[in-house]
Structure 1
Amino acid sequence: MRSPMPSNTRCPLSWTPSTTRGLFKAMTTTTHGKRTIAKAEKNRVPESLIAAVRDRLSRNERVRRTLPHKGRLHIDRQVPFLCVYRQPPEYDDAGTEQLVRGEASYLIGSGASAFHDSLSKLVGTVVNTLSAEFGAFLIVEIWSSPDGGKANDPAVPSVLPTFTIQAPGTAKLDNAVESLRKRLQKMKILKHGVEVQVVRGGTICPPGMKPLIDPPRAREMNCWKIGLMVPPVFRKANTSVEFPLLMGQLRRSLSHALRHAYFQFACDRTTHSPDHFHTLGRKAVVKAVWDIDRQLAEVSNQFDYLLQLTPVNPTSAWKEFEAGQCKHPPEFHYRPLPVDPALLKRQLYKIPIERVEDPSLQRLFEEKQEELELKLTMLRDRDTSRFKHLSMALFGGVNDAVLRIAKELLTTLPAKSSPSKANLYSAKQFAACVQKEIDHYRGVCPDFKAKVVISDDASGLIVSRGKLMVNSDLMLAEDRVAALLAHEVGTHLVTYYNGRLQPFQQLYSGLAGYEELQEGLAVLSEYLVGGLTNSRMRQLGARVVAVRQMADGASFVENFHSIHDDYGLSKRAAYNVVMRVYRGGGLTKDCVYLRGLVAILRYVQKGGDLNPLLVGKMAVKHIPIIKELQYRGVLGKAPITPRFMQDPVAIGRLAKLRGGTGSVVDLVTDLKTNGRVG
């Protein structure tokens, strides 16, 4: 134990009240000094960061840096523009910063006056570096208009939301401003239009803030500026409550409008001449995008949706149905589910798609997430009364226009008599033809690793994850072999492997709703190789009629007799059509073949290019996005070209369709008149 200090011992330091006050003052001064330094550090962009930005931009390298006050500088590559948002220091401007995050070049920073000089220096460095590359530079600054007005409430349609463009007094930016105005004017917010006004002259910056670059310095660097005040329809007035779906729509529309303005500015004022406005979108893809694409693919790859809905006993079920004089519905059996739909849904909705900054990619991922959720629900409800309604939600039904076309095919085209045994290909013979076709494509591209498998439990022909399954009892007419090679290998397998060779895995697993365009393209390929027969078109028409009758409440037996008795299909052919429609509990997918053919024919007749459609598996609505991503350099061209697209006869048939007005019925008529099909 320590001995107490003697009372007469003098302490080395006398702790008098004045000493305590002095020490406290010194400590306070030191602490205050540290706080002052820390505050100063927080209110400036480090010189080292500014130097690094200058260095990377001069070498045309991507810049992605975090700034003080939760800011961000993202510059995809050397581009002649910067989209800016500054957070007002006096209130919470919820959501507005999201409007710039999808741009190829954007800055999010604090609007506090103490931060202005430092932020201005950073922006000046960006402008000076890139203006030297392009001869001119454009800053587009975005801010939101005050909350509370009726024009900012999306639920009040009587007063349209107003966008205000602040433009320089000079006419030198008129084309860019007008391009922005026109694109904004086309926007819809909750199905209502918008107002767009242009204000010229004056200081272009948010209220209460100073310009990021003063006018004399801007003139020295040939830097131009456009301001855009956006109505805050994406949040509840005077709150921080956002409307995420409305925000997503606004971001996509605004991003396209801004890209048109960048494009016009680049063409008019810079030494750069971009080929298309989409080339000014983002090219570099951040890690979050690859992560989310991978996670969605992981969910999708855990189950084969169509395989799980296809009966494993189609042949034995037919024999029982026939033995019962076609009076009792067959009993179908299915493969056991390899997943628990509820657990997989949990995994699916843990994927943070909201982290994707690019609005185009974010929407693609959201659609796929929604589709996977619906497919998992259908697997859970397989063979129940609920299944049919889920199928209608996923694939849609048969509208009257498509039904009329289907009935026209069935009543106009004569049924062909059954081919002789000598003209039939067995499953083994057809599989050998498929293998030769696969070998051809593998010679063109070693990554084409498709397989053909003969299986007892496959229903006809089915493509599953890069392999073609052929039912062992399959018998094919000789005049259908080339058509099915073009359909199954030249379309389904080629687009699958083309998708695998793209950076996004969704392109081989299939973007949401891809089936209609994919099947339409596959049937078109049958026409291009001269194999679209009367019986094939009647089959497609019968599928549509059967789907409509199933949706309207007809039983399996009623539907079978209608297809056989009313429309003249053989008993086995009618059974195959109706079996496909009632599998799983009522699958409306088979209406997409004819619907897709109508859509692809219209697309080609209007001059549409088939090449973007070969990049992977997509829907018609995705064609503009795929083209956009190709322009931006995110996606490449299809590395594998279908064999039929290189055949002079097929090329001639395709050219003949362009500018035409014929219907799908005319496709068969054309082949009978000018081609090889009877």
Structure 2
Amino acid sequence: MSKDGALGRQDKSDWLEDILISIGEGKSVRRDLPGGGRLHIDRPLPFLCIHIAEDGAEPTARDVAQANASYLTAPHAAPAIKVIDAVANTLEERFGAFILLDIGELSQDRFLTVDAPFLPPFEVSIWSSADATAAADAFSAAVSDSEVRFRTPQVEKTEAAPLSDDKQIARELGCSAVAVRFAPVYRRPGSEEIYPELREQLVAMFFDAGLQAFASFIGMRQLFKLTTHRALGRKAFIDAVARVDRSIDEVASTFDFLLAVTPINAAAAFDAFKASGRQVQPPFLYRPLELQVEAIKRRLFSISFEHLEDPVLYQLYREKQQELDLQLSLLSSRHHPKFVEFGRALYEPVERPLLREARTILTGLAGSEPNGADDAGVGDQIADCFQVERRAKAMIAAYQRQGADFKASVELRDDLPSGLMVSGHRLLIARSTLMDTRRVEPLLSHEIGVHLLTYFNGSAQGLRLFRSGLSGYEGMQEGLAVFAEYLSGGMTPERLKVIAGRVVGCASMLDGATFSETYSMLVDDNNFTEPAAFNVVLRLYRGGGLAKDAIYLRGLLALLDHLKNGGALEPFWMGKIATSHFAVMQELAERGLLRLPAIQPIFLHTDAGRARLERARSGMRPLDMIQRQEP
């Protein structure tokens, strides 16, 4: 930092003084600077990432800088030095040490030519002050070890800062510093056109490397303890995130995907199927779409993610945008052959290990006979829709005692197949529902204790994305919901048989079998009763063939493996997330962006539920959920 006192507090303008006061009080700062650029400080931290370049000249380096919790961007060095020096002094006084990361781009990609017969490494030049060599080494190692999918970075340390003499900010300030310049490999050679995917990968790689450098610096000086370098990321959502979140949620709220692909004439369809001698697929009727798919897609892709700044959130919203696009494509192709292919893309085909597990379950349960609805055997004591409704309202009231915001509603519906489903904050119960009374509590644990609970806990996270669901969340959500049935003591052979039957039926449907062929396979080869088989096949062939029902067993197997490997269950209650997002949720929690789940599942409040969970942690397959059900 400057030693001559020329930048003493008495010379600072009022706006800069306000910034330093805010930092001193531990407040956040987000301010556009005179002459261009921005200072953003999520919270006081012992580092600042800077990028100095004309607006738009080095967009990738700018995005790397802006991804950080503490950054400054500016078009020119001279006016920025005053701000950087003042902020650096203030933060060093607070923490006892401070480091500057100067990120920028080289003027050209000198290793690559238009006619290169292969993709050579790309240049990354790093300079550090003498007291920041460990941080530079951490940055270099992170870049070198990254799983790049474009070109291998060739990291070189240099004695001179990789800047022109008039921009040697790191040296001029005299603070601990690392300066990085990388080749603009995201640009097409000889052109200003960019490769968007490469740019995203570069931003993610250099951002993570920067966090590792900061973590190394903090650890060497023992400034404070870190559980992970990712904890140095942002702890507050900027306005741009809230705008994108609201826009994505508004698109998602224009349709209810599952209701739109659920037939409204299930009972009549079964009668028609029986009248045909069980040979002809009956016609299914659906609710008319209340949206124009093309118009909603235009809204979806008009949402700009350009100003999100946080690479993690950027990726989550991009994934959700792509998932919504697939769902809309499915809705627009109901009754058309391509519906099944869109469904295959959204829910994935039935992989061989999953099919093998399903067949193992069906073999192990060869003597059981599910009856009636697809998710319950019917015993001597039968519960109708009104009994289910009363118990559902009682369970919702119990959850409301944990949190007043658990404002779920219960609706009896004539336009649903027998059973239950959740839509947003609503529990929908078909009036035709009849089930064994022993299955009521487990099924409500499935629908209320998982689907509604994660909806309301997700709502409390500050972003609607966590209540509507991250991309691909349905597999783990349904696996978790099936596991909840086990934890509440209600995983019957009949129920598990249906879950496995959905998988083999889905594989049959995707392989091109007709409705009647899949139905016969369940009845003749797997001992399903006719009503149970029809309910399974109706779900599989709705819309033209929906591959969704394989996700219940797939999600359950993923969850059991997760628990066996020592994975925690708590993050799954924070909102609707996929298995692939577990590390992301942990990172966001470490950064303080997520709250602990306000409402906990009731079935884990019991000794029996906790005992069953511990059994699952010791290693369990789906069949064991029946064999070892009671504690």
2: CA distance between counterparts of 1:440 and 1:274? 38
Query: Does 1:187 find its partner at 2:146?
Result: yes
Preserved contact between residue 95 and residue 235 of structure 1 (Cα < 8 Å): no
Q: Residue 66 of structure 2: SS of its match in structure 1?
A: coil
Q: Please, which of 161, 184, 189 is the counterpart of residue 204 of structure 1?
A: 161
Preserved contact between residue 520 and residue 593 of structure 1 (Cα < 8 Å): yes
Preserved contact between residue 162 and residue 181 of structure 2 (Cα < 8 Å): no
Q: Please, which of 83, 88, 109 is the counterpart of residue 127 of structure 1?
A: 88
Render the CA deviation track for 1:92-151: whole Å, top value 9, x for unaligned. Answer: 44532122111111111234xxx52x3222111011000000000010111223423236
Q: Which amino acid aligns with 2:14?
A: S
Q: Residue 638 of structure 1: SS of its match in structure 2?
A: coil
Deviation at 1:270, TM superposition (A): 5.2
- Residue equivalent to 1:599: 558
* Mean CA deviation greater in 248-257 or 397-406: 248-257
Q: Which amino acid aligns with 2:292?
A: D
2: CA distance between counterparts of 1:206 and 1:395? 49
Preserved contact between residue 393 and residue 410 of structure 2 (Cα < 8 Å): yes
- Residue equivalent to 2:374: none
2: CA distance between counterparts of 1:576 and 1:46? 74
How many residue pairs get aligned? The number is: 614
Q: Residue 124 of structure 2: SS of its match in structure 1?
A: strand
Deviation at 1:272, TM superposition (A): 3.0
Written as runs of structure 1 = structure 2, the 5 A alignment for 1:207-606 is 207-212=164-169, 214=171, 218=174, 223-269=175-221, 271-417=223-369, 422-459=380-417, 460-606=419-565
Deviation at 1:498, TM superposition (A): 0.9
Preserved contact between residue 520 and residue 596 of structure 1 (Cα < 8 Å): yes
Query: Does 1:655 find its partner at 2:614?
Result: yes
Preserved contact between residue 160 and residue 194 of structure 1 (Cα < 8 Å): yes
Preserved contact between residue 73 and residue 106 of structure 1 (Cα < 8 Å): yes
1: CA distance between counterparts of 2:141 and 2:171? 29
* Mean CA deviation greater in 412-421 or 552-561: 412-421
Deviation at 1:650, TM superposition (A): 1.6
Q: Which amino acid aligns with 1:628?
A: E
Deviation at 1:260, TM superposition (A): 2.0
Q: Residue 180 of structure 2: SS of its match in structure 1?
A: strand
Q: Residue 558 of structure 2: SS of its match in structure 1?
A: helix
Residues 100 and 668 (structure 1 numbering): CA distance in 2 closer, same or farther, change over 3 Å? same
Preserved contact between residue 491 and residue 642 of structure 1 (Cα < 8 Å): yes
Q: Residue 380 of structure 2: SS of its match in structure 1?
A: helix
Q: Which amino acid aligns with 2:46?
A: P
Preserved contact between residue 472 and residue 577 of structure 2 (Cα < 8 Å): yes
Q: Residue 468 of structure 1: SS of its match in structure 2?
A: strand
Q: Which amino acid aligns with 2:334?
A: R
Q: Residue 477 of structure 2: SS of its match in structure 1?
A: helix
- Residue equivalent to 2:14: 48
Query: Does 1:75 find its partner at 2:41?
Result: yes
Q: Please, which of 634, 638, 642 is the counterpart of residue 601 of structure 2?
A: 642
Q: Please, which of 101, 115, 120 is the counterpart of residue 66 of structure 2?
A: 101
* Mean CA deviation greater in 442-451 or 479-488: 479-488
Q: Residue 277 of structure 2: SS of its match in structure 1?
A: coil
* C-alpha RMSD of matched pairs (Å): 2.3
Q: Which amino acid aligns with 1:569?
A: F
Q: Residue 664 of structure 1: SS of its match in structure 2?
A: coil
Render the CA deviation track for 1:478-516: whole Å, top value 9, x for unaligned. Answer: 332222121111001100111112200011111111100
Render the CA deviation track for 1:547-583: whole Å, top value 9, x for unaligned. Answer: 1111111110111101111111111111011100001
Preserved contact between residue 150 and residue 198 of structure 2 (Cα < 8 Å): no
Render the CA deviation track for 1:197-250: whole Å, top value 9, x for unaligned. Answer: 444xx34352444432546x63xxxx3111222232222234432222221222
1: CA distance between counterparts of 2:115 and 2:626? 50
Preserved contact between residue 427 and residue 471 of structure 1 (Cα < 8 Å): yes
1: CA distance between counterparts of 2:117 and 2:310? 29
Q: Residue 142 of structure 1: SS of its match in structure 2?
A: strand
Return 5+ residue gaps in structure 2 as ranges.
1-10, 372-376
Residues 476 and 146 (structure 1 numbering): CA distance in 2 closer, same or farther, change over 3 Å? same
Preserved contact between residue 163 and residue 196 of structure 1 (Cα < 8 Å): yes
Preserved contact between residue 126 and residue 162 of structure 2 (Cα < 8 Å): no
Preserved contact between residue 46 and residue 99 of structure 2 (Cα < 8 Å): yes
- Using the size of structure 2 for normalisation, the TM-score is 0.92
2: CA distance between counterparts of 1:279 and 1:103? 11
1: CA distance between counterparts of 2:209 and 2:607? 41
2: CA distance between counterparts of 1:181 and 1:153? 28
Return 5+ residue gaps in structure 1 as ranges.
1-44
1: CA distance between counterparts of 2:534 and 2:246? 40
2: CA distance between counterparts of 1:542 and 1:330? 21
- Residue equivalent to 2:571: 612
Percent identity for Structure 1 against Structure 2:
33
Residues 313 and 361 (structure 1 numbering): CA distance in 2 closer, same or farther, change over 3 Å? same
Preserved contact between residue 102 and residue 359 of structure 1 (Cα < 8 Å): yes
Render the CA deviation track for 1:654-674: whole Å, top value 9, x for unaligned. Answer: 2232253x4333333322xx5
Q: Residue 628 of structure 2: SS of its match in structure 1?
A: helix
Query: Does 1:65 find its partner at 2:31?
Result: yes
Q: Please, which of 616, 624, 627 is the counterpart of residue 583 of structure 2?
A: 624
Q: Residue 336 of structure 1: SS of its match in structure 2?
A: coil
Preserved contact between residue 152 and residue 161 of structure 1 (Cα < 8 Å): no
1: CA distance between counterparts of 2:15 and 2:113? 38
Q: Which amino acid aligns with 1:67?
A: L
1: CA distance between counterparts of 2:168 and 2:234? 26
Q: Which amino acid aligns with 1:124?
A: D
1: CA distance between counterparts of 2:281 and 2:137? 65
Preserved contact between residue 607 and residue 659 of structure 1 (Cα < 8 Å): no
Deviation at 1:352, TM superposition (A): 1.3
Residues 478 and 251 (structure 1 numbering): CA distance in 2 closer, same or farther, change over 3 Å? same
Deviation at 1:320, TM superposition (A): 1.9
Render the CA deviation track for 1:259-300: whole Å, top value 9, x for unaligned. Answer: 122122122225333343222111222111111101111111
